[in-house]
Structure 1
């Protein structure tokens, strides 16, 4: 009998199991579960987005459509970036993808393969290094430095990780899971080094609208870049507009790459359903009030969780600058996988183990606070009581 596993490509066999899903599967059936382990809020997609998709279905828009995305959505993406990022780069540089994850996969397929390396700050969302590995390339983590004053990126360490095999730098800012956020000066320094060495940048700006304070967005490579810089921007409709289940995102790339990106879409999904794209147009054109609501809820949720857990005097964390996670450790515990299982088993509060985000995340837990105040108050009470005991 053929050994099916040995007959697979090594990259497929070695694709890592999600450390988050492992904990989810451990306790998903609990009746008293408060699930704070995944990166989504608890609001459903708003009515005005659903209505646009339903109207499209009613019109019979259920056929093959533009591989790059319908013109209305690409134009809406251009207008959105002009409003919020001040760059009038035109609709031709925006490509609609089947989720932010597919945008990352397309970016990786375009720039890295067997024998190549991509460097990235860690702790990091595990799907990115996994996508690199599946392509046969190597993902090289560069640890962020932790202190109670904040996570920091040592640029000298980042640049020292570049080798002749390095093809790109991946930067997720604001960061999942740490909440670290690159300032404009850091982005400019990374771009200058990438230009000098001829490296690509994959700019993951999924959480750009979730920032603390008065700013309406995080600093972006768009603040310092030129249209033809070697930068691929990946983003999603999931977070801002409560569309995680829709699986729709976008890739922004220099227009000269248009046919290449279209070809990669053609040979993967052949495009995104038109009715979903109509919903995405509504999100961009009509969704600012909802984004503001999401930001207010996340800020209030952070205050609830951070205040209660910090008061125990037994956690270590850095206040997040952006995104919607608290990344914290508990005094006396170093194995985050066992700790996450123990906490959910004894309290019903589901948290993601820091080890799922790389070696630099070990000893921490990730908690999503983009949830209702009621759920977060209950979770905070259970967690604070458990930690105090």
Structure 2
């Protein structure tokens, strides 16, 4: 087995979850998913597809009708996107891995903005790339911010790929349009590809008038060296369906079709039918999801801010409260202790990068906000304040 694969770190989020699964009474907030069921109209579309016997292979890039609907959906949110720029994938993580496989070779330089969901830094390493990280930094109020000039300086003609996730998991940090324009301009100068993980773009609370966070797709040209990844998981409550998509230059799509063939062949038809139903009801489902998540954030964050020694800020995007506690040490050990001693399951900050050591991620996507109240109470009791 390859040395790079043997030396990949296991998910520290999973490590904590494994310590808590099966333990009675644990309030689990470690994974990045809601505990609310997928909407009935979406589930029924998959059931109907199965009853029609749609259990055969589909086109590598996805059903033409789903690619068209995704393109129309993206065009409503951003500049027009043609369906020949869309590939349907087996989840957002599959789209990210496919993009890295398509763009990165062993020895290439990849720059990533961290802290970030660990898959995004592991994927270039799997390909044998040399990874450089540019860190967000916490501010006194608990929010995280980017030193734009530091990032721009890190992107050179030797940089093959820039990976950026905004709204960010775990911090909730979000790029502005001005920052995106500067990043795109720099990458045009250096010939660097951008892989933008924008799966949380609809989970955005800072400005609800536009309906989503700022995106590179709002101003990028169709043939820019840009791949934007999305997922049905968060905005449509479809984590377990493993359905995502990517937007790329049209010239890249035929080659992506080949790569999908050699990875998963295609996405199951009944899953794609569920995606079509989700898009048909997008403006019923997603605004309700976002409004509920905002209520969850408004419930949890003030409770955490009221705990002495806790540093946290309400995030403008995403589904997480990212916080640290004065006097606590290694976040992995703290997370494990919280499971055992408080019945509280959180994700350790160190899972997202060394700069997040000492922080904890709390997924507030709870169907019943009372669970958040109970969890905050358990944390306060555990801290003895």
Q: Report TM bin, short chain.
A: over 0.9
- For residues 225-374 of structure 1, the aligned pairs below 5 Å read 225-371=220-366, 372-374=368-370
Structure 2, unmatched stretches of 5+, are none
Q: Distance in 2 between matches of 1:286 and 1:339?
A: 41
Q: 1:386 corresponds to which residue?
A: 382
Structure 2 match to 1:102: 94
CA–CA separation in structure 2 for the residues paired with 1:74 and 1:111: 22
In structure 2, the residue matched to 1:5 is: none
Q: Distance in 2 between matches of 1:226 and 1:27?
A: 47
2: CA distance, partners of 1:287 / 1:33: 33
| TM-superposition CA deviations, 1:29-58 (whole Å, max 9, x none) | 111011101100011111100111111111
After TM superposition, the score normalised by the length of structure 1 is 0.96
- Asked if the contact 1:76/1:281 (under 8 Å) is kept, the reply is yes
Find the residue that maps to 2:131 and give its secondary structure. strand
The whole-number CA distance in structure 2 between the counterparts of 1:89 and 1:373 is 37
Q: Report the CA distance between 1:163 and its aligned residue.
A: 4.5
1:143 maps to 2:135: yes
Distance 1:183 1:315 in 2: 27
CA deviation vs aligned residue, 1:220-263 (integer Å, no higher than 9, x gap): 00112111110001111111111111111001111111111000
Q: Distance in 2 between matches of 1:356 and 1:257?
A: 32
Deviation at 1:102, TM superposition (A): 0.6
Check the 8 A contact 2:109/2:129 in 1, yes or no: yes
Q: Give the one of 64, 69, 72 matched to 2:62.
A: 69
User: Do the aligned partners of 2:108 and 2:130 also contact (CA within 8 Å) in 1?
Assistant: yes
Does the 8 Å CA contact 2:304/2:312 hold for their aligned counterparts? no
Secondary structure at the aligned position of 1:267 is classed as helix
**Alpha-carbon separation, structure 2, partners of 1:11 and 1:125:** 19
User: How far apart, CA to CA, are the structure 2 residues paired with 1:219 and 1:269?
Assistant: 31
Separation in 2, partners of 1:251, 1:20: 26
Segment of structure 1 superposing worse, 186-195 or 282-291: 282-291
Superposed displacement of residue 11, structure 1: 1.8
CA deviations over 1:319-371 (Å, ceiling 9, x no partner): 31110101100110131011111111111110000000011110100000011
Would you say the 8 A contact 1:353–1:366 is kept in 2? yes
Q: Which moved more, 1:139-148 or 1:192-201?
A: 139-148
Structure 1: gaps spanning 5 or more residues: 1-7
Distance 2:77 2:156 in 1: 35
Residue 213 of structure 1 deviates from its aligned partner by: 4.0
Which has the larger displacement, 181-190 or 134-143?
A: 134-143
TM-score by length of 2: 0.96
- Tell me if the contact between 1:97 and 1:248 (Cα under 8 Å) persists in the aligned partners: yes
- Partners of 1:306 and 1:280 lie apart in 2 by 32
Q: Secondary structure at the match of 1:316?
A: strand
Give the one of 371, 374, 381 matched to 1:375: 371
**How far is 1:141 from its partner?**
1.2
**Are 2:11 and 1:11 aligned?**
no
Task: Tell me the equivalent position of 2:163.
Answer: 170
Question: 2: CA distance between counterparts of 1:225 and 1:336?
Answer: 39
Residues 308, 384 of structure 1: 8 Å contact kept: no
Answer yes or no: is 1:224 the counterpart of 2:219. yes
1:100–1:235 contact (8 Å) kept in structure 2 = yes
Kept in 1: contact 2:328–2:334 (CA 8 A): yes
Deviates more, 1:355-364 or 1:341-350: 341-350
Whole-Å separation in 2 of the counterparts to 1:301 and 1:354: 21
* SS of residue matched to 2:49: helix
The superposition leaves residues 246-304 of structure 1 with CA deviations (integer Å, 9 ceiling, x where unpaired) of 11100111111111100000100000001100000111111322211211221111122
Aligned residue in 2 for 1:190: 183
